[in-house]
Amino acid sequence: MTSALATTLDTRKQNAHLTFKHNRHHGRHGWLRLTPAYSVPLVSKILEGHNYAATVLDPFSGTGTTALCAAYAGLRGTGLEINPFLVWFSSVKFRQFSPATIEKTQALGTVIAAASSSEGIPSADPPPIHNIERWWNDQELHFLCRLKACILDAAEEGSDERNLLLVAFCRVVITLSNAAFNHQSMSFKSADTSPQLFEIKRDNADIFLKELSLVLSGAADNPQIEPTIVTGDARQPSRFLTDKFDMLITSPPYPNRMSYIRELRPYMYWLGFLTNGRDAGEHDWRAIGGTWGVATSRLAEWTPSDKAFIPPALKKSLAGISNPKNNNGTLLANYVAKYFEDTWLHLSDIGNVLNDDAKVHYVVGNSTFYGTLLPVEQIFQVMLQEAGFHDVEIVKIRKRNSKAELFEFDVTGAKGRPSKRSTVRESRRRSPRR
């Protein structure tokens, strides 16, 4: 089914061009670096194989890669996303901007850069991030507070100009921070306290102008059709989406990631989407697979509902993970069981927003917990079949890291009547050979 993908890949390799790394040099797709994003070539390759599709849905939209790729290809793309920052960010990324807007934003940016360098101007409050000094030193923090105040003062609330300036601001927030994004989530660089022969002074205003220029060059490359972003919970897609779609391409949360809030916190605090640590945990609890803050204590008390569907492969993994020898094994088994209960809620409703014959592509990665393999792709396959999809196949697309058993897969299937080929296969499977 996904021959276009499968035939061009050497799955023994990490194929970094299929990850977020590729997007950094890809216009709007490179505006913000988020490690769970997948790549433009991956989505484009999948779209190539289905040129009949006019409407494309991503129910776990993240940074909006799928919907924007679809729009650049002249298709109607829609994203569903639970995180309010990502919804705001996608709404900016999806906009068609006029040359006049870009010119005006550039002019405002020049004024803002000059003003934010001066110590005497009003400044915004620093965000209430725990241990903020680990993120930015005093000088950079003050600069960011002045820069934010200048942007809010110069550009009208809700305007395209303010939104573009805030995307550039988000880039500066990370450029000036001590956070190192060289891991699947992030860590902190240790501060260099050794004496310096020459003091190297960064020109922060200049950094802002460079980031703004990158954002504006992406903004000038308008998608043919503006995609749509919808705020909502993918566990009940039919509650939030009124249209029906020809194709679904998505990468749902990965069970080994444990939190999306962790990496998004700096942006969310600076832009006011988060005001305290408790809310960060509440956000993560609402998302699939979140464990931040309060979400962990809730997981400890969580029990499966009668809606759960537990295929044998999942049952076997849960038994391995909850082995009493494993420190926190019960908690992690709860985490995995809840992850798949939520996934099942999603898969059992998603058909309601798809047209007959719609194709689905779930890009997933397997995981290990205490040496027990969690075959995520196989569990998705069985769940999709149980939810009424046919021709469900697993295509291995890349090695994830140095661990020999970890891979990424595209689990594909179709809604509606099964093809003749699969009907024959299914009936063979059902009738035992004599």
Identity of the residue, 259 or 372, whose beta carbon is nearer to ligand SAM in the bound complex: 259
> DSSP 3-state assignment of 350?
helix
To ligand SAM, the closest distance from the beta carbon of 70 in angstroms equals 12
Cα-Cα-Cα-Cα dihedral sign, residues 49, 54, 60, 66: positive
Identity of the residue, 67 or 179, whose beta carbon is nearer to ligand SAM in the bound complex: 67
Exposed (0-12), middle (13-18) or buried (19+): which is 174, by Cβ within 10 Å? Answer: middle
Identity of the residue, 34 or 314, whose beta carbon is nearer to ligand SAM in the bound complex: 34
Residue 247 pairs with which residues in a beta bridge?
A: 56, 359
Identity of the residue, 149 or 261, whose beta carbon is nearer to ligand SAM in the bound complex: 261
Exposed (0-12), middle (13-18) or buried (19+): which is 192, by Cβ within 10 Å? Answer: exposed
**Alpha-carbon distance 38 to 253, whole Å?**
12
Cα-Cα-Cα-Cα dihedral sign, residues 392, 397, 399, 401: negative
**Residue labelled with tokens 């490359």:** 221
To ligand SAM, the closest distance from the beta carbon of 66 in angstroms equals 6
Strands 76-81 and 55-58: parallel
**Alpha-carbon distance 10 to 85, whole Å?**
36
Exposed (0-12), middle (13-18) or buried (19+): which is 100, by Cβ within 10 Å? Answer: exposed
Structure tokens at 431: 């009738």
Residue nearest to ligand SAM (CB): 62
Identity of the residue, 70 or 112, whose beta carbon is nearer to ligand SAM in the bound complex: 70
To ligand SAM, the closest distance from the beta carbon of 253 in angstroms equals 5
To ligand SAM, the closest distance from the beta carbon of 260 in angstroms equals 4
Identity of the residue, 170 or 176, whose beta carbon is nearer to ligand SAM in the bound complex: 170
To ligand SAM, the closest distance from the beta carbon of 346 in angstroms equals 7
The answer to whether 264 and 271 are in contact (CB under 8 A) is: no
Identity of the residue, 59 or 413, whose beta carbon is nearer to ligand SAM in the bound complex: 59
- For the chain, report the end-to-end CA distance as a whole number of angstroms: 31
Exposed (0-12), middle (13-18) or buried (19+): which is 264, by Cβ within 10 Å? Answer: buried
The residues of the shown chain that bind ligand SAM, judged by CB under 6 A, are: 34, 36-38, 60, 62-63, 65, 80-83, 86, 233-235, 251, 253, 260, 287-288
To ligand SAM, the closest distance from the beta carbon of 334 in angstroms equals 17
To ligand SAM, the closest distance from the beta carbon of 234 in angstroms equals 3
Amino acid at position 8, single letter: T
To ligand SAM, the closest distance from the beta carbon of 58 in angstroms equals 7
Q: What is the 3-state secondary structure (H, E, C) of 16-33?
A: HHHEHHHHHHCHHHHCCC
To ligand SAM, the closest distance from the beta carbon of 90 in angstroms equals 9
Q: Please report which helix (H) or strand (E) contains residue 49, including its range.
A: none
Identity of the residue, 251 or 296, whose beta carbon is nearer to ligand SAM in the bound complex: 251
To ligand SAM, the closest distance from the beta carbon of 203 in angstroms equals 31
Identity of the residue, 14 or 35, whose beta carbon is nearer to ligand SAM in the bound complex: 35
DSSP string, 253-303: PPTTT--SHHHHHHHHHHTTS--SHHHHHHHHHHSTT--STHHHHHHHH--
Identity of the residue, 305 or 327, whose beta carbon is nearer to ligand SAM in the bound complex: 305
